[in-house]
Chains A and B, each alone.
Chain A
Amino acid sequence: MTDQELLQKYAGGNIAAGRTFVEMYQDKVYAVCYSFLRNAHDAEDVAQEVFIEAIRNADKFRGDARLGTWLYRIAVNRSLNFLRDNRKRRFWQELDALISSRGGEPEANHTPGDGILEQRDEARLIADAIANLPEKQRIAFMLNKIEDLSYAEVAEVMEASFSSVESLIFRARENLQKKLKKYFRG
């Protein structure tokens, strides 16, 4: 049974098909939401909404794109809407969970080699730098680098051309290089 058939059956009330379908995609959908939201509770909430939306619109999915790409698109849109509607919540704020044992910004004159700038600082710096990219650059870069989607897949998810995704990712990389080089100099 294809994943599309599983979704159709789930939408029709077949719970066993639903379980198979959801378990097939839950990690990927959740990971996308988590990449944007950096908070387990919010990511679960939005990931559930992604599946609910997919079930509601099961009959509209005509198989032009892969089902996984379609779910990615819903997940990205839902996550961005969540962020837009929670402006008071600083993006990536919950990254502190990852680096909870250390506070404050790393000093710019510390380098990776000197033992002061640790892995969690590096992750935080990178996460902050990504978070501060312009939205489209951020989405393209995250899907490409963090979610490991190819340029073609990113283009499909973002409903953009391959060349515009190339351009977005190139500009994202330039911006990140500018933001990060002051921390990572040897």
Chain B
Amino acid sequence: MNCTLAQIKLISLHNQADAAFDAMLSDHLQGCRSCLNFSKALDRGFDSLTSDPGRKPETGFFDRLEQRRSKGVIVSAPGNRQLPAVVRLSPAIAAAAASVLLGIWLGGRLFFASVTEGANTLQLTDSQREVLLASYASDLQLTDESTTAIESYLYEPETLSGNGNK
């Protein structure tokens, strides 16, 4: 067994023991001071890590947990991940995102305005509007006086608009 293999084995877990391999390792350690030192240092180092007194919560953990739950505090200490994503965005990124959204909205408004305007001027003549309005009224079955008033209300602006185009 060489030193590299021995040292890799030494780092491994005790509960993954392999009797045959352990025997070879033991032989190696008897004749290799370097690996023996490595082994002792690792044992001490890992023991120190796993016996750290900080690895147990202070007494009253449950009471503090309940206190937190009763307050409905879901967000943890400042800087924790529970902050909403939007809050974590830097102001510059948020401003850039807002600008893009505003641009899309404005662009959309302008585009649809031009399409609508183009459709009115290109596709509808005054006579066509009259026919169209009459057919709307017919579809809606507007026959009494009140519906006539509504019809005239709808019709007049279109007539004025139609005259204006002449």
A19 CA / B37 CA spacing, docked (Å): 46
Contact with B along A96-123 (1 / 0, CB 8 A): 0110000000000001110001011011
Contacts of B8 in A (CB 8 A): 170, 173-174, 177
Task: Give the residue of A41, A48, A97, A125 whose beta carbon is less than 8 angstroms from that of B45.
Answer: A125
Contacts of B12 in A (CB 8 A): 145, 169, 173
Contacts of A170 in B (CB 8 A): 8
B11 touches A176 (CB 8 A): yes
Binding site for A on B (CB under 8 A): 4, 7-8, 11-13, 15-16, 32-38, 40-42, 44-46, 48-50, 52, 54-58, 61-62, 64-66, 68-69, 74, 76-77, 79-82
B81 touches A112 (CB 8 A): no
Contacts of A174 in B (CB 8 A): 8
Q: Quick one: closest A residue to B83, CB to CB? A: A85
- Range of interface residues on chain A? 35 or more
Q: Quick one: closest A residue to B43, CB to CB? A: A122
Binding site for B on A (CB under 8 A): 15, 18-19, 22-23, 26-27, 30-31, 34-35, 38, 40-49, 51-52, 55, 81-82, 84-86, 97-98, 111-113, 117, 119-120, 122-123, 125-127, 144-146, 148, 150-151, 169-170, 173-174, 176-177, 180-181, 183-186
Known: A48-B68, A84-B81, A98-B52. Is A123-B45 also a contact (CB below 8 A)? yes
A-B contacts, CB under 8 A, total: 141
Contacts of A176 in B (CB 8 A): 11
B41 touches A184 (CB 8 A): yes
A173 CA / B21 CA spacing, docked (Å): 16
Nearest Cβ distance between residue B53 and chain A, in whole angstroms?
10
A173 touches B11 (CB 8 A): yes
Contacts of A27 in B (CB 8 A): 56-57
Known: A15-B66, A18-B66. Is A122-B76 also a contact (CB below 8 A)? no
Known: A34-B55, A82-B81, A186-B34. Is A177-B66 also a contact (CB below 8 A)? no
Which among A45, A98, A120, A177 has the greatest number of chain B C-beta atoms within 10 A? A177
B76 touches A45 (CB 8 A): yes
B77 touches A181 (CB 8 A): no
Q: Please list the 4 inter-chain residue pairs (A to B) with the smallest Cβ-Cβ separation, ordered nearest first.
A: A186-B34, A122-B45, A123-B48, A186-B37
Task: Give the residue of A19, A26, A97, A186 whose beta carbon is less than 8 angstroms from that of B54.
Answer: A97
